[in-house]
Chains A and B, each alone.
Chain A
């Protein structure tokens, strides 16, 4: 319901969008033959990241007097809506930071620059990006962007709670059974203490916690041609049964329906383990934590797995001159030297293999943000990527509802997955 306060916010947002559009128009009109080429980058960097990013921009502008790159902050969650509006109004940014999960959809935008002919040139060192990043940037034969950020999931655990419960901390050979029994021992309802916390709103945040388990057990989300779903396989049921046992039988999982409580509860010592990415480490200031790779299924076909959600720099075509300037800028921004300096300044994982395998660098990074080194090493456990199909949101939604209904004890794994597969197949066929 929209009350006056939120209506005011809406007006302010509208006004902001309008001024954006006007500003962008002003920028466009200025591309005369003399003076530097002006391009705009939309990004969602704040605080430490924002400072580090602005420093890179300043450096680039200083070294390239013929180009002037300006930046505009835009919350990552909302940037797609804003870019769509701007594209409609013919005032698209030259470069924008976009979530990898949007790739199949943004591939449809006519103004998008297909980067494949650029990145195939040897001096881009495209193969130096991690395979999952390249997969998330590729839709059919198009390359929709250049990797901007990479992460992955691992176990972050509270050392004190493990010691108090008298159990060994997680090791790299943990099975899901080990994980389950540790979570049960860490749970103490009288203290409001849980072994594990899972985002349980049924969104992609829930789904991507389940996907590595599915892959691990030897299953897959969709058939190789992406035409129908295969997650209702034996492996899928096995993975979901683990979640069911933990949530329904053991009650060792705090089901976070808000997707916001994880780091807060972890930091206040209420949660034994989180399965999360490196971005949460900096908020865990009150506890002593350790990081370990995710568990696997004993003897399962998939081997050790995790998942990554890479994001991209996406370039839009605003005329040849600006397009070339934007491509050059992205090339510079994602070159190994800049990847290294940005990663070191922010604690974000390096997007390039050559940087991630530089042990001296990883040591330096880990010192700055303890535990991040495990995440860097874990990048080589990212073996699969989400399918880049346009119907992915529908597939994810169906699966997310199935997972939550099982974890709430409303449904059995096989039944829930079968009916989700039916919904997903209908969406996949509907294109």
Chain B
């Protein structure tokens, strides 16, 4: 059995009387991309700050590369790269100076950031305080990926990035995985996690609600499809397993589907479609379903290891 890169067992953090996280447990295997999904205030950042040794746990343990996350933080940081959700870069420095500073502290060669900055079309000469939120986040993405540390800890890395840069981020994440690096990605964006990760833990109100393979999680949840057809369809046009007709008003149809969508798409293809909108559930929607009790627990769940 491979030793996990991250081992979290019953991890608990209280800020005085305020709950941070409680009884959080999961493992991340070497080379795995692990998503950490939850709404704002769920405990994602607290968990990451515990993993990086910024916070001392109230209970339980967090180990990274077999080392205690709090006691052995500098040794862990030699093998980990981190990007916060809103990095507090120094406004008076330029992007280049900020990246050079972080690169030097991490023992990287001079100008290690240049190829990535060029790839992300970042102007490194501009002072951080003059950069937009998205461009500041670009500096963060460059900082996170400019080294070759075997673990990347990314806290909502695409917040503020435009869709093109989000795609570039996903490409960087895929390349990092291809290099055998391990990704720990916190997000409240299901699509991002679905595209970048193998497994996902869902955290809600400080507790892990579910740990499962991404495919199983996505497959087990409903998607919403809104259609505008050329003509009103037959009443039984969408009579399929796992398809629910929510509303059918003349040419407009609202469906919910879960699992394999191919059969439904084949039915739709036989019709004249004027417009179609498919919506993946957002994280709040997913939680509502999980806690309403009308959603089966995915078949592939638990904390089992995923091969690297």
A binds B: no
